[in-house]
């Protein structure tokens, strides 16, 4: 199952429309999409607007692949369950977010090989045809880097 999520805050129809079109051409592929609060609705895949944290975790767990906006909630959730993740950053010029921090996040996380990035609908479409080729997810465990935890521990002990 492919789990598609765009987070709880803002719509992201551009990404969802591309996936819905691909879903129409690939009716045999199981997809589930969380689409947020938007006027448009998909025709070729089951969807919901928002989900509870428990439902969200269950969908990520059940998914073979996660496709998401470049939001850290989506990205970290997928990585913690060792799911390959493909992200598409929101763009401020298309009013998909208030600024372009998702483009920056995507670029920097790509450099650390934590995610695969589709810059636009065309690249997203290409990746949908070969999701099996997505790199295996890096293991991130459930904790921050030890150096950060040490710094926090030291600070609190001295507080």
**Residues at the site binding other proteins, with contacts judged by CB under 8 A:** 7-9, 52-54, 71-77, 79, 101-102, 104-105, 107-109, 112, 114, 140, 142-153, 155-157, 159
Q: Which is nearer to other proteins, 42 or 90 (CB)?
A: 90
Q: Is the dihedral of CA 130, 132, 137, 142 positive or negative?
A: positive
Q: Which is nearer to other proteins, 9 or 43 (CB)?
A: 9
Question: Which phi and psi angles does 64 have, rounded to 5°?
Answer: -85, -35
Q: Which is nearer to other proteins, 62 or 72 (CB)?
A: 72
Q: Which is nearer to other proteins, 30 or 57 (CB)?
A: 57
Q: Which is nearer to other proteins, 113 or 120 (CB)?
A: 113
Which helix H or strand E contains 4, and what residues bound it?
Answer: strand 2-5
Find out whether 115 and 109 touch, Cβ atoms under 8 Å: yes
Q: How far is the CB of 151 from other proteins (least distance, A)?
A: 4
| Dihedral, CA of residue 38, residue 42, residue 48 and residue 50, to nearest 10 | -30
> From CA 19, how far away is CA 110, in angstroms rounded?
21
> From CA 159, how far away is CA 157, in angstroms rounded?
6
Q: Count CB neighbours of 100 within 10 A.
A: 15
Q: How far is the CB of 134 from other proteins (least distance, A)?
A: 18
Q: How far is the CB of 18 from other proteins (least distance, A)?
A: 23
Q: How far is the CB of 83 from other proteins (least distance, A)?
A: 15
Q: How far is the CB of 49 from other proteins (least distance, A)?
A: 15
């Amino acid at each position: 199952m492919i789990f598609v999520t765009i987070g709880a805050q803002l719509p992201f129809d551009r990404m969802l429309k591309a996936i819905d079109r691909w879903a129409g051409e690939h009716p045999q592929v199981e997809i589930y999409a969380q689409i947020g609060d938007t006027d448009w609705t998909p025709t070729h895949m089951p969807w919901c607007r928002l989900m509870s944290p428990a439902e969200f975790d269950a969908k990520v767990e059940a998914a073979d692949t996660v496709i998401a906006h470049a939001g850290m909630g989506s990205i970290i959730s997928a990585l913690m369950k060792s799911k390959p993740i493909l992200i598409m950053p929101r763009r401020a010029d298309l009013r998909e977010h208030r600024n372009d921090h998702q483009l920056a996040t995507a670029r920097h996380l790509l450099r650390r090989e934590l995610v695969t990035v589709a810059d636009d609908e065309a690249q997203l479409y290409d990746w949908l045809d070969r999701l099996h080729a997505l790199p295996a997810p890096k293991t991130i465990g459930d904790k921050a880097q030890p150096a950060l935890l040490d710094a926090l521990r030291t600070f609190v002990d001295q507080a």
